[in-house]
């Protein structure tokens, strides 16, 4: 089965709801399901771009708001666009900055025209409008632009979330009016909090518009895990089969496997990179923290089953020593390991879908890793 | 001309006083003159060991005192020694910790038996003795051990420096009594401050003892540059031709070129790595600081004449952005660039000596770089 969809997306195989796809961009093809490492400021923390490529990543995420604040999208454009600026030969997706209206909520006011916030760098007032953030992303030259959305906090009343859904739709319509560069795709973001009827409303409104893909936003913002997955399931069902589906900000390896089973194609999360800098490594038997005294004399690699560069070179004892000594190499090694882990999880998931064995693959992983993302040992 | 010397050192060529040599260790050969990147705690800051190897480094420096404090030399020994612990396949030299008696001077008392200091980690009292630091280095399994020395501060009276010279000699004699592992060489450290007669005394006393190499210490501790080079020149003349000569803690590219002309073979300095983390890059036209506003829109690499990985991928504008954003990749890229610069400087110096063209090479470098290490632009 190969079904050519819109916006360069091809469904290669299905297994239940799980999808094996291929997303074509001007900067190469991206096999899905795919996890995007987060490089908000134009760099994935502790990693070099050639290392991300070697790990198999072909699509990474940056943030339009952050890059607008520093160094400014016009500077990036003058220097040849974000790909060239970063030295990254793969594809790029930028989040619009809508999520910052939540994470910097104390600083914002939201109106029909857009979002007002105070710069996290110099305190100056910044207005983000649907047209403005689309223009930023055009200037950055990214492959996939995200519309400005309003991400309601959790918890929020149904009235508040309804207003956020309708505003997000009006902003999405305005975003479509903005001129784009050659080959730039634009994804809209379904909101609706944890209210099924509002998720349905948001999905119905947005999927009526000609976007190349759809994201589900406003999850993983504090709601219970079960509610996150129920809402992701519901929202996923409402999205068209022929376009990519991006579950924003998710998540743990367990979350990714569940979301793939629901039919999601793209993911991003700071967990593998941020946890690495905090000394935590994902392994196929659960997470381990190299801070722990139990690893002081442990000659084993982070994960016995791992063939990443750090696992071929470094013991837990050495990584613990580096971490306690504040050495940059600790952050580097754990980040590379965690991104190798996430990359391998996704490539194995793609292979399992292609061979119709996703459920068995998923069960086997959970059997080894445990059902939750917490540390096992 | 090939002259087999003691302790695995072979003189391959001479050009004036400058020497092209080869130092054989149990972990491979080291072509000299060689610069050793500093990895005090068992890691060269921001670098991975395979990257240092790729840059051409075959000998790096660690610090016995630091590793004694954390994670402890016995732990390193249990895990197979420092090479294996670090995942480093080249050779290792450890400084003894004598220099810490200077840099942590407020915390120390110095007696005949050794140095008492308070741990910079937990405040506990630590006694460093000649026998103790040699045993640490034996446990670490390094290729080259340094004796415990007493490094007088600058300025210091002749009486004070005389006491330090004589104590250093007695400690060197005691160090020779300590059992070593197979193939471990030991170097003694000439002291004497900036007093010619005391440098002569120290060199005469130490070179009468059967060390495999000699270092000149107690320089680059605050004395004027001219006095540093005059003292290095004098001390160098007093050292045997057939053994390696190590000028400790030196220095700028200009210092290295001058010291090579004086007949020194080995160097270490934190400049390329520390300056990198402060945003400063060595170039063949002088140092540049990526912090400067003038580089905000500069599409050029750090150094037009450089073929290192960062210079092939990143503009000054991008590196400035990374530096201002606090991204680890800034420290990584500048460190890699600076170590590439130092490595290339040394390999070109070796080639120039071998072809009898060292003076011309040296003049040409100074003509491009300037006579001082300061920023030119």
B95-132 tens-digit pLDDT: 998 777 667 656 678 899 999 888 888 888 889 999 99
Q: Which residues contact A313 (CB under 8 A, 6 or more apart)?
A: B48, B49, B50, B87
Pairing of strands A144-146, A185-190: parallel
Residue with tokens 């613990």: A320
Quote the CA–CA distance of B106 and B100 in Å, as a whole number: 10
Which of A71, A315, A327 minimises the CB distance to B41? A327
What pLDDT is stored for residue B107 in this prediction?
67
Q: Chain A residues with CB inside 8 Å of B50's CB?
A: 309, 313
- Residue of chain A nearest B42, judged by CA positions: A322
Quote the CA–CA distance of B161 and B336 in Å, as a whole number: 38
Catalytic-labelled residue, pool B31, B143, B265, B268: B268
Quote the CA–CA distance of A21 and A10 in Å, as a whole number: 5
- Asked if A332 lies within 8 A of B79 by C-beta distance, the reply is no
- Asked if B87 lies within 8 A of A314 by C-beta distance, the reply is yes
Look at the alpha carbons of A288, A289, A290, A295 in this order and tell me if their dihedral is positive or negative.
negative
The alpha carbon of residue B337 is apart from the nearest alpha carbon of chain A, in Å, by 14
CA A280 to the chain's CA centroid: 19
- Asked if A48 lies within 8 A of B327 by C-beta distance, the reply is no
Quote the CA–CA distance of A77 and A135 in Å, as a whole number: 11
- Asked if A43 lies within 8 A of B327 by C-beta distance, the reply is yes
Which of B79, B296, B332 minimises the CB distance to A75? B296
Q: Chain B residues with CB inside 8 Å of A71's CB?
A: 296, 317, 320-321, 324
- Asked if B41 lies within 8 A of A299 by C-beta distance, the reply is no
Quote the CA–CA distance of B340 and B172 in Å, as a whole number: 35
CA A152 to the chain's CA centroid: 18
Q: Which contiguous run of DSSP H or E holds residue B307? A: none
Quote the CA–CA distance of A78 and B298 in Å, as a whole number: 10
How do residues A105-158 score in pLDDT, each as one tens digit?
A: 566 788 999 998 888 888 888 899 999 999 999 999 999 999 999 988 899 999
Name beta bridge partners: A29: A24
Cis ω before B33 (30° cut-off from 0): yes
Catalytic-labelled residue, pool B95, B149, B265, B303: B95
- Quick check: A6 contacting B, CB < 8 Å? no
Q: Chain B residues with CB inside 8 Å of A75's CB?
A: 296-297, 317
**Parts of chain B with a pLDDT under 50:** 1, 5-6, 376-377
Q: Which of B34, B33, B31, B37 is nearest to B51 (CA)?
A: B37
Structure tokens at A278: 């905090």
What pLDDT is stored for residue A181 in this prediction?
95
Helix-helix angle B253-261:B328-354, to 10 degrees = 20
Look at the alpha carbons of A260, A266, A267, A273 in this order and tell me if their dihedral is positive or negative.
positive
**Parts of chain A with a pLDDT under 50:** 1, 5-6, 376-377
Which of A41, A313, A317 minimises the CB distance to B327? A41
Residue with tokens 């120390």: B108
Q: Which residues contact A8 (CB under 8 A, 6 or more apart)?
A: A23, A24, A25, A185, A212
Which of B48, B79, B318 minimises the CB distance to A315? B79
Q: What is the pTM of this model?
A: 0.96
C-alpha distances in angstroms, B97 versus A46, B84, B148, B172? 31, 22, 7, 14
The residue among B38, B45, B48, B291 with the most chain A CBs within 10 A of its CB, best to mutate, is: B48
Residues of A taking part in catalysis:
95, 268
Quote the CA–CA distance of B231 and B194 in Å, as a whole number: 6
- Quick check: B85 contacting A, CB < 8 Å? yes
CA B196 to the chain's CA centroid: 23
- Asked if B75 lies within 8 A of A329 by C-beta distance, the reply is no
Tell me if ipTM is over 0.85. yes
Q: Which of A377, A280, A324 is nearest to B75 (CA)?
A: A324
- Asked if B297 lies within 8 A of A79 by C-beta distance, the reply is yes
The residue among A63, A87, A90, A336 with the most chain B CBs within 10 A of its CB, best to mutate, is: A87
Q: Chain B residues with CB inside 8 Å of A320's CB?
A: 71
Quote the CA–CA distance of B125 and B321 in Å, as a whole number: 44
- Runs of H (alpha helix) within B238-305: 253-261, 271-277
**End-to-end Cα distance, chain A:** 43
Quote the CA–CA distance of B211 and B191 in Å, as a whole number: 15
Q: Which of A36, A7, A1 is nearest to A19 (CA)?
A: A1
How do residues B266-311 score in pLDDT, each as one tens digit?
A: 999 999 999 999 999 999 899 999 999 999 999 999 999 999 999 9
- Asked if A78 lies within 8 A of B321 by C-beta distance, the reply is no
Q: Chain A residues with CB inside 8 Å of B318's CB?
A: 42, 79, 85-87
CA B377 to the chain's CA centroid: 28
- Asked if B87 lies within 8 A of A313 by C-beta distance, the reply is yes
- Asked if B70 lies within 8 A of A321 by C-beta distance, the reply is yes
Look at chain B and count its residues.
377
Q: Which contiguous run of DSSP H or E holds residue B12? A: strand B9-15
The alpha carbon of residue B91 is apart from the nearest alpha carbon of chain A, in Å, by 16
3-class DSSP state for residue B53? helix
- Asked if B297 lies within 8 A of A327 by C-beta distance, the reply is no
Quote the CA–CA distance of A32 and A57 in Å, as a whole number: 11
Map out the domains of chain B with their CATH numbers: 20-269 (3.20.20.105), 276-369 (no CATH)
Asked whether the beta carbons of A338 and A273 are under 8 A apart, the reply is: yes
Burial class of residue A173 in the structure, from the number of CB atoms within 10 Å of its CB (0-12 exposed, 13-18 middle, 19+ buried) = middle
3-class DSSP state for residue B360? helix
Quote the CA–CA distance of B296 and B313 in Å, as a whole number: 17
What pLDDT is stored for residue B376 in this prediction?
45
Look at the alpha carbons of B103, B104, B109, B111 in this order and tell me if their dihedral is positive or negative.
negative
Calculate the CA dihedral of residues B370, B20, B222, B216 and round it to 10 degrees.
Answer: -170
- Asked if B48 lies within 8 A of A315 by C-beta distance, the reply is no
Q: Which of B109, B69, B105, B76 is nearest to B92 (CA)?
A: B76
Name beta bridge partners: B266: B34, B246
- Residue of chain B nearest A69, judged by CA positions: B325
Burial class of residue B293 in the structure, from the number of CB atoms within 10 Å of its CB (0-12 exposed, 13-18 middle, 19+ buried) = exposed
Which of residues 286 through 325 in chain B touch A, CB cutoff 8 A? 296-297, 299, 309, 313-315, 317-318, 320-322, 324-325
Quote the CA–CA distance of A39 and B322 in Å, as a whole number: 11
Quote the CA–CA distance of B176 and B145 in Å, as a whole number: 11
């Amino acid at each position: 089965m190969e079904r050519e969809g819109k916006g360069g997306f091809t469904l290669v195989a299905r297994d239940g709801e799980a999808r094996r796809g291929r997303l074509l961009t001007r900067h190469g093809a991206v096999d899905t399901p795919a996890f995007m490492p987060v490089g908000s400021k134009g760099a994935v923390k502790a990693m070099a771009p050639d290392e991300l490529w070697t790990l198999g990543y072909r699509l990474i995420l940056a943030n339009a708001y952050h890059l607008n604040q520093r160094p400014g999208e016009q500077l990036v454009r003058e220097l040849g666009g974000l790909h060239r600026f970063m030295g990254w030969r793969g594809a790029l997706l930028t989040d619009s900055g809508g999520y910052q209206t939540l994470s910097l909520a104390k600083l914002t006011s939201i109106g029909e025209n857009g979002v007002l916030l105070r710069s996290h760098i110099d305190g100056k007032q910044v207005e983000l409008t649907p047209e403005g953030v689309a223009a930023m992303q055009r200037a950055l030259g990214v492959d996939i632009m995200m519309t400005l959305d309003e991400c309601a906090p959790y918890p929020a009343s149904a009235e508040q979330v309804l207003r956020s859904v309708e505003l997000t739709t009006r902003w999405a319509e305005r975003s479509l009016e903005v001129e784009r560069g050659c080959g730039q795709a634009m994804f809209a973001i379904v909101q609706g909090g944890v209210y099924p009827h509002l998720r349905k409303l948001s999905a119905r409104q947005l999927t009526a518009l000609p976007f190349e893909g759809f994201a589900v936003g406003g999850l993983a913002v504090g709601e219970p895990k079960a509610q996150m997955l129920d809402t992701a399931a519901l929202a996923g069902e409402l999205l068209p089969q022929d376009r990519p589906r991006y579950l924003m900000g998710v998540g743990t390896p367990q979350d990714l496997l569940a979301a793939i089973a629901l039919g999601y194609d793209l993911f991003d999360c700071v967990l593998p990179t941020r946890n690495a800098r905090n000394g935590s490594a994902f392994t196929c038997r659960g997470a381990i923290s190299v801070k722990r005294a139990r690893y002081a004399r442990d000659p084993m690699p982070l994960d016995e089953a791992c063939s990443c560069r750090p696992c071929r070179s470094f013991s837990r004892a050495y990584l613990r020593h580096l971490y306690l000594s504040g050495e940059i190499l600790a952050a580097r090694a754990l980040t590379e390991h965690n991104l190798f882990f996430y990359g391998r999880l996704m490539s194995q998931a793609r292979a399992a879908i292609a061979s119709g064995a996703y459920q068995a693959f998923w069960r086997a992983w959970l059997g080894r890793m445990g059902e939750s993302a917490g540390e096992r040992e």
